[in-house]
Amino acid sequence: MSDTSGSGFRDAAQNHQGSVQPEEFDDPADDVETNQATPDHEDVLHFVRRLVGELLGQDNVRLSVECLALATGISYMGDSMTDIARRYGVTRAAVSKRCVEFTDALGLAPSRAMRSTKARQSYRRRRMDELNQQNLVP
């Protein structure tokens, strides 16, 4: 931009005509209403006690921690239940059962790595129907 003082050129940002005031935006967090209350210290402590109690009650704590990580989605590294089962010499069903026990005991929803509660109920009903047809269920 040419300078009227005869010194040549100057930065357009120094000219009041070239300056623009930043537009103010609303904080998107202000628009979001949450129905969940922030947990207080006692709620968190109670949850941690339950969690530690669940882990201490397990025979294989390392396996249980991996199942907990899968069930909660914490540090889920992409290992399947089959991979975890193979690593610890148990069945995939045993891993699944342990994951379900954690979600039930801690009041958590199943993670993406698990079947939904509805799907599990459906599979269970279908299996019971098969066994009933074969007269294997008393």
Per-residue pLDDT reduced to its tens digit, 17-69: 555 555 565 655 555 555 566 778 888 888 888 888 888 888 888 998 898 88
Inter-residue contact 18 to 77 (CB < 8 Å): no
The domain in which residue 129 lies consists of 42-49+59-133
Tell me the pTM.
0.57
Looking up residue 96, the CATH number of its domain turns out to be 1.10.10
Residue 99 DSSP SS3: helix
Q: Which two tokens stand for residue 54?
A: 């669940």
80 in any annotated domain: yes
In a domain, 107, yes or no: yes
**Which of these, 75, 92, 74, lies nearest to 84 by C-alpha position?**
92
Answer with the residue of higher pLDDT: 76 or 112: 112
